[in-house]
Amino acid sequence: MWQLLFLTLSWDLVPAAAHSLHRSMDGAGRRQYQVQHGACSYTFLLPETDNCRPPAGSYVSNAVQRDAPLDYDDSVQRLQVLEGIMENNTQWLMKLESYIQDSMRRGVAALQQSAAHNHTAAMMEMGSSLLNQTAAQTRKLTDVEAQVLNQTTRLELQLLEHSLSTNKLEKQILDQTSEISKLQDKNSVLEKKVLDMEGKHTVQLQSMKEEKDQLQVLVSKQNSIIEELEKQLVTATVNNSVLQKQQHDLMETVHSLLTLVSTSGAARPAPAAKEEQVTFRDCAEAFKSGLTTSGVYTLTFPNSTEETKAYCDMESSGGGWTLIQRREDGSVDFQRTWNEYKAGFGNPAGEHWLGNEFVSQVTAQKRYVLRIRLADWEGNEAQALYEHFSLSGEDLNYRIHLKGLTGSAGKISSISQPGSDFSTKDADKDRCICKCAQMLTGGWWFDACGPSNLNGMYYPQRQSTNRFNGIKWYYWKGSGYSLKATAMMIRPADF
C-alpha cells in the first residue's frame, strides 16, 4: 500500500537545467527522498510494505531452491522483493518527474508572466519618467535654442553694422589716400617753387646785404651829422632861453617905466595883460602867444607862483605840445624814487621826466590829449594818441585815466589798464606782489608787470628785452626789442 506522507516545494524565478536524488532516514526510521531540480527542492516519503518477507515455503522457484538452505532462500526472496520495489520506485519516479516537470512548466510560465508584467510596469514607469525628463530637457533645449537664435541674430546684425562701418571707413581711407596723393603732388610742386624762391631769395639777400652795408655807412655819416645838429639845437635852445629871460627882463623894465610915467596913479589894464602873458600854464599858451620855436620854456603851476622848466614841441602835429617824458640816449637814469618822479628830474633839453605833481594839477584844469611818439633802431616810427588823459593827485597815487586810443602804435593800450596807480622802486602801488618797479627798473603805471614800460632800462643798441626791463611798447608790431627813442607829450583838447 502506497501512502504519500509529505511534499515540500521551493520555487525560484529562474529554473535550473539539472536535478538530483538524495536518500536519507527520518527519526522514525522511514526513508526520505529529496529531489533537487535546479533551484527547486522536493522532499517526499516513498510507500513501503509491512512484513515484506514471504512465508516459508510459499515460493520455490525450482528444486535447487527448495533443496537450498533456508538462509539462501530468504536472500533470494529479498532480492526479488527489492527488484520489484525498484521497478515500482522507478515507475513512480518517472511519474513524479513528469508531474514535477508539468508543474514546473506551469509555475515557470506564471512566474515569467508575472515577472514580465512587473518588468513591463517598471519599464512603463521608467519610460514615463524618461518621457517627462525628455520633455523638460526638450523645453530647456528649445529655450536655449531660442536664446542662441536671438544671440546669433544680434551678432549677425552687429556684424552687418561693422561690415557697413568698415566699408565706409575703407571708402574714407581711399578718399583720404587720394587727397594725400594730390597733396603730395601739390607739395612737390610747392617744394620746387620754394627751392626756386630760396635761390632767388639768396640772391636778393646778398643784394640787400650789400645795400645794408652801404646804408650803414650812410647812417653812420648821418648820425654824425645828427649829433652835430643836436649840439647846435642845444646851443640854440640855450640861446632861446637866454632870449626869453632877456624878454622877460625887458617886459619888467617896460612895466616899471609905465608905472613911473603914470601921473594919476590909476592902474592901466594893458601892462597887467602883458605881465600875465609872461608866464604860461603850458606850451599851448606859449604857442598861442606867438612863441612858435621849439625849446625849453618856463611854466607855472596853476593857481601858484611855483615854476618848472619844460620842453615845448612847437612844430609836430600843429605844435603846442608839452613834453612830460623823453628818452633818446640813456644819459639819465629813470630808476628813481617817488619824490623824484613827483618833482621831476633830468634835463628838459634832453632826457627828463617833467613831474607827476605838475601834470596832475595841469590836467585837472581841463581835458588834455596825450601823444606818445616811438622810434626803433631800424628808423621806424609810430605814435599813439589818447583823446582824454589826466592824472589824479598824490592822494590817489597819481592814478592814470585814459580814453580814446588811435594811432599806429597798436590797438591796445600799452600804458596799463586805465585806473592803475603810479609805482616807483620805493613806493610799490601796483596790483602785483612782485614789485614791478624794482623788477622792470623804472617808475610806471604798472598793473601786473605788463610788457610795456617807457621808463625801463635804456639799451645803447637793439637788444631783446624778454625780461621786460627795457624800453619797449609791446603792441607796436609785437616788438620784443628795446626802443631807441620815446617821447610823451600833452596838449589841451581844445587847442
Q: What is the mean pLDDT of residues 65-70?
A: 48
Please give the tally of structural domains in the chain. Answer: 1
Q: What is the mean pLDDT of residues 182-205?
A: 84
Four-CA torsion 288, 294, 298, 303, nearest 10 degrees: 40
Q: Are 60 and 25 in contact (CB under 8 A)?
A: no
* Residue 165 pLDDT: 86
* Residue 204 pLDDT: 80
* Residue 248 pLDDT: 64
* Residue 247 pLDDT: 66
pLDDT over 60 (residue 443): yes
* Residue 130 pLDDT: 85
Q: Are 240 and 292 in contact (CB under 8 A)?
A: no
* Residue 399 pLDDT: 94
Q: Are 483 and 471 in contact (CB under 8 A)?
A: yes
pLDDT digits (tens, 9 = 90+) for 350-405: 999 999 999 999 999 999 999 999 998 888 899 999 999 999 999 999 999 999 88
Q: Which three cell numbers stand for residue 213?
A: 652795408
* Residue 68 pLDDT: 46
pLDDT-derived band at 11 (thresholds 50, 70, 90) equals very low
pLDDT over 70 (residue 37): no
* Residue 478 pLDDT: 61
Q: Is residue 446 domain-resident?
A: yes
Q: What is the mean pLDDT of residues 466-477?
A: 73
pLDDT over 80 (residue 264): no
Q: Is residue 474 domain-resident?
A: yes
pLDDT digits (tens, 9 = 90+) for 295-328: 999 999 998 889 999 999 999 999 999 999 999 9
pLDDT over 90 (residue 408): no
* Residue 22 pLDDT: 56
Going by their DSSP bridges, the two strands 381-391 and 368-375 should be labelled as antiparallel
Q: Is residue 56 domain-resident?
A: no
Q: What is the mean pLDDT of the chain?
A: 79
Q: What is the mean pLDDT of residues 170-187?
A: 86
For residue 445, CA distances in Å to 20, 219, 342 come to 142, 35, 13
- Determine the 3-state secondary structure of 324 from DSSP: strand
* Residue 184 pLDDT: 85
pLDDT-derived band at 202 (thresholds 50, 70, 90) equals confident
Q: Is residue 68 domain-resident?
A: no
In the block, residue with C-alpha cell 640813456: 330
Give residue 396's domain range.
283-492
Q: Is residue 303 domain-resident?
A: yes
CATH number of the domain to which 451 belongs: 3.90.215.10
Q: Is residue 59 domain-resident?
A: no
* Residue 312 pLDDT: 97
pLDDT over 90 (residue 46): no
> Own/partner pairs for 332-338, CB < 8 Å, 24+ apart?
334/441, 334/442, 334/443, 334/455, 334/456, 334/458, 335/425, 335/441, 335/442, 335/443, 335/457, 336/424, 336/425, 336/443, 337/424, 337/425, 337/426, 337/427, 338/424, 338/426, 338/427, 338/443
pLDDT over 90 (residue 426): yes
Q: Is residue 488 domain-resident?
A: yes
Q: Which is more confident, 61 or 141?
A: 141
In the block, residue with C-alpha cell 625849453: 296
Q: How many residues are present in the chain?
A: 495
Q: Which three cell numbers stand for residue 379?
A: 628808423
Q: Which is more confident, 286 or 461?
A: 286
Cα–Cα distance between 326 and 347 in angstroms, integer?
10
* Residue 42 pLDDT: 66
pLDDT over 60 (residue 28): no
Q: Is residue 196 domain-resident?
A: no
Judged on CB neighbours under 10 Å (0-12, 13-18, 19+), 88 is middle
pLDDT-derived band at 38 (thresholds 50, 70, 90) equals low
Per-range mean pLDDT, top range of 53-67, 111-125, 218-232: 111-125
- Determine the 3-state secondary structure of 260 from DSSP: helix
* Residue 13 pLDDT: 37
* Residue 396 pLDDT: 95
pLDDT over 90 (residue 432): no
* Residue 291 pLDDT: 93
pLDDT over 50 (residue 59): no
* Residue 455 pLDDT: 93
pLDDT digits (tens, 9 = 90+) for 113-145: 888 888 888 888 888 888 888 888 888 888 888
Q: Which is more confident, 427 or 112?
A: 427
Q: What is the phi/psi pair of residue 9, to 5°?
A: -120, 125
